[in-house]
Amino acid sequence: MTQLRNKQLRKMLKDIDAFVEEQYKPAHPAQERDWRTYEQQWEARIKNAVAHLRPLIDESTASIISPVKTGPEHKLSLYQRVMLLLVQRWCKQSNRITSCFLTLFGALSGSDISYKTVERLYSDQDVILALHNLHVLILKKQGVTIIRAAGDATGYGLTVTKHYATEAQKLKDGAKSQMGARKFVYVFRLLDLNSSMYVTQGTSFTSEKDAFDQAMRVLRTLDISLDSLRLDKYYSAPHYIDQFPDTTIYIIPKKNATLNGSWHWKRTILRMHDNLMHYLEEYYQRNHAETEIKNDKQHFGWQLPQRRDDRIDTATRATMNLHNLLKLTTEPT
């Protein structure tokens, strides 16, 4: 086995940026997107998602039995409530605009849905349970079980005057701790590289770390295991790596990293040292997670109009479901 010392590790980490510029990037040039093909694929995905939507919602709501309530009955069935919430997130419309559209259509059907009804969907426990069932069902239909994973975090603005990427760029390295309470919500998502589906997510108003921890707690409840995992420098510490003892990890340690830590940490560093080019090829597949999250913000919006914690969490879960729905490759039933 190759012997590695802290001095050698520090030199490798010091020289890694030059290695990326001089050797890695020339050997892996960026591929240009064929926009005509992309638009055709996007249109096909939308049609496929719409074809799947009704049977999947039917299946995800079929086993939910609502408790007996003393108040007035819902104006909408559970299927309609789930569908309405997903459509609203897809169209990036506010509660008031959504209710206005429903009023126009309601003139034909006789129904009258207020913006408060739309807002309450995000705290409806039956809807939240249905979204969870829908998430698990989509992953099951796609055959997502043992995954090559990549994780990344982002922030969603809670006001129209604050944009997460812009504020983060202004503050640079201090962005995660200085952007202020209630301006943004952190969301960490774990992507399966083979299917491009999100496997789990976590949300937090306090830190990216808390969002990561929540996502990992959810992951442990799913029948899914990690074959390999790619994370950015924010998680490049032994106590993060040790959470995944049976998983091959790809991270770039910070410049001041040492070999102190578990054998799992040491083996991760040693793999990097022994074949840096291959290691970087695996590590930079993490960019797929960044790209998917960026695309989701373009498609479904970067700002969340909800204010209550539970409703914000529901909105981000709906986005995750819509993303996965658009990645389905199976035939609708």
SS3 189: strand
Q: Is the pLDDT of residue 179 over 50?
A: no
pLDDT score recorded for residue 230? 97
Instruction: Give all strands of the β-sheet with 184-192 in edge-to-edge order.
Output: 197-204, 184-192, 146-157, 225-230, 248-250
pLDDT score recorded for residue 245? 94
In a domain, 333, yes or no: no
Q: Is the pLDDT of residue 177 over 90?
A: no
Mean confidence (pLDDT) of the chain: 86
In a domain, 35, yes or no: no
In a domain, 15, yes or no: yes
pLDDT score recorded for residue 116? 79
Q: Is the pLDDT of residue 73 over 90?
A: no
The mean pLDDT of 252-258, rounded to a whole number, is 92
In a domain, 93, yes or no: yes
Specify the DSSP element, H or E, that contains 90: helix 78-91
pLDDT score recorded for residue 178? 47
The mean pLDDT of 6-18, rounded to a whole number, is 93
Q: Is the pLDDT of residue 71 over 90?
A: no
In a domain, 214, yes or no: yes
pLDDT score recorded for residue 72? 65
Which residue segment(s) compose the domain that 217 sits in? 6-29+43-63+75-327
Q: Is the pLDDT of residue 54 over 70?
A: yes
Q: Which residues pair with 200 in a beta bridge?
A: 190
In a domain, 69, yes or no: no
Task: Answer for the pair 304, 312: CB distance below 8 angstroms, yes or no.
Answer: yes
pLDDT score recorded for residue 147? 97
Look at the chain and report how many structural domains it folds into.
Answer: 1
Q: What is the DSSP letter of 156?
A: E
In a domain, 1, yes or no: no
